[in-house]
């Protein structure tokens, strides 16, 4: 099954509020599907109220990219996600994972226990279970999961509507294509591609600031797209045809430059 393209933008509130409001409206007007928020305490306002505000500003879907499961109790995360679905009239998507590399240091800074990976995965499961209970039979909050290992993939095959694969630094498309192929043999869901670099521009919150664009190109990484729009359009279509990625997530720093491409491909 070939799914139509859609595009999301990770757009944390790191500017003056009026500037960010205008950015959200431009993202919606350009045809992007979703405005997304990372889950990094102390770097930005909390995702929940920020996304509710974004949904009130423009007719666009909103979502977390992604909740870090060890940062808050599962039921609280589920309650917030369900509430966002209700307040946005079904325009919220809950992205969730076990936390970015180095999450243990962040947890210690916050005074939270640095739980092992197995417990973090159990927290993801419990969050989704609680969300489904809160949603009941009349509402279905889409769940996007960031996965890597076999246990995370197995859970995503049970509960996720969208799956993105955590990419290691310098990893080639061959390995990610294998992960995608093996996963789709279990369950055919929407596959999302986390693109942190466009040309030589590295998106904040999506990759470390010292990310080397040239090294990603040399490795044939899926975390980078060309700066030229025509080449980017061809590459995105190739990635859907050969691997199955139909949902492309980019940083707000590149959203306006990619707007003509989004207008051409979204929904097709």
Task: Return the closest-CA partner of residue 128 out of 169, 87, 98.
Answer: 98
Q: List, in sequence order, the alpha helices (H) in 211-254.
A: 213-218, 229-242
Sheet architecture: strand order including 201-202: 201-202, 197-198, 224-225
20 vs 208, more confident: 20
Q: Which tens digits make up the pLDDT trace of 15-69?
A: 899 999 999 999 999 999 999 999 987 778 999 999 999 999 999 999 999 999 9
Q: Which tens digits make up the pLDDT trace of 76-114?
A: 999 999 999 999 999 999 999 998 767 777 777 778 777
Reported as half-sphere exposure (CB side, CA atoms, 13 A), residue 32 has a value of 30
- pLDDT for residue 101: 67
As a whole-number percent, the residues of the chain with pLDDT over 90 amount to: 82
Could you tell me if 139 and 88 are in contact, meaning their C-beta atoms sit under 8 angstroms apart? no
- Distance, C-alpha 33 to centroid of its chain: 12
- pLDDT for residue 144: 98
Q: Three-state DSSP class for 134? A: helix
156 vs 71, more confident: 156
101 vs 233, more confident: 233
- pLDDT for residue 205: 86
Query: Tokens 């040309």, residue?
Result: 199
Residue at 1 is within a domain: no
Q: For residue 31, give the CATH number of its domain.
A: 3.20.20.30
- pLDDT for residue 212: 95
- pLDDT for residue 106: 75
Residue at 96 is within a domain: yes
Note down the domain range covering 158: 6-265
Total domain count, the chain: 1
Q: Which tens digits make up the pLDDT trace of 156-182?
A: 999 999 999 999 888 999 999 999 999
Residue at 76 is within a domain: yes
- pLDDT for residue 131: 98
Task: Return the closest-CA partner of residue 100 out of 56, 69, 133.
Answer: 69
Residue 245 structure tokens: 């990625």
3-state secondary structure 84-132: HHHHCCCCEEEEEECCCCCHHHHHHHCCCCCCCHHHHHHHHHHHHHHHH
Task: Return the closest-CA partner of residue 248 out of 179, 172, 162, 168.
Answer: 162
Could you tell me if 83 and 49 are in contact, meaning their C-beta atoms sit under 8 angstroms apart? no
Q: Residue 61 region, left (φ>0) first, then alpha (ψ -120 to 50), else beta?
A: beta
Tell me what the pLDDT averaged over the chain comes to.
Answer: 94
As a whole-number percent, the residues of the chain with pLDDT over 70 amount to: 99
- pLDDT for residue 108: 78
CA distance 18 to 67: 25
Dihedral sign of CA atoms 45, 47, 53, 59 in order: positive
CB 230: neighbour CB atoms within 10 A? 9
């Amino acid at each position: 099954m070939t799914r139509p393209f859609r595009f999301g933008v990770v757009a944390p509130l790191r500017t003056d509020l009026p500037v960010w409001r205008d950015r959200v409206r431009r993202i919606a007007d350009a045809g992007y599907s979703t405005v997304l928020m990372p889950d990094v305490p102390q770097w930005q306002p909390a995702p929940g109220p920020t996304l509710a505000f974004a949904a009130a500003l423009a007719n666009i879907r909103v979502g977390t990219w992604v909740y870090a499961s060890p940062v808050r109790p599962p039921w609280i995360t589920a309650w917030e996600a369900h509430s966002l679905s209700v307040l946005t009239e079904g325009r919220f998507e809950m992205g969730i994972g076990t936390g970015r590399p180095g999450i243990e240091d962040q947890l210690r800074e916050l005074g939270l226990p640095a739980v092992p990976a197995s417990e973090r995965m159990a927290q993801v499961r419990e969050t989704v279970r609680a969300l489904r209970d809160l949603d009941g039979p009349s509402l279905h909050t889409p769940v996007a999961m960031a996965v890597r290992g076999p246990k995370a993939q197995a859970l995503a095959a049970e509960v996720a509507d969208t799956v993105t694969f955590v990419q290691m630094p310098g990893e080639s498309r061959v390995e990610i294509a294998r992960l995608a192929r093996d996963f789709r043999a279990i369950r055919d869901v929407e596959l999302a591609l986390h693109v942190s670099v466009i040309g030589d521009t590295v998106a904040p919150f999506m990759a470390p600031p010292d990310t080397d664009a040239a090294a990603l190109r040399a490795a044939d990484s899926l975390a980078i797209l060309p700066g030229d729009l025509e080449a980017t359009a061809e590459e995105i279509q190739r990635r859907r045809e050969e691997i199955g990625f139909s949902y492309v997530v980019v940083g707000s720093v590149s959203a306006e430059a990619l707007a003509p491409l989004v207008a051409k491909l979204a929904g097709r």
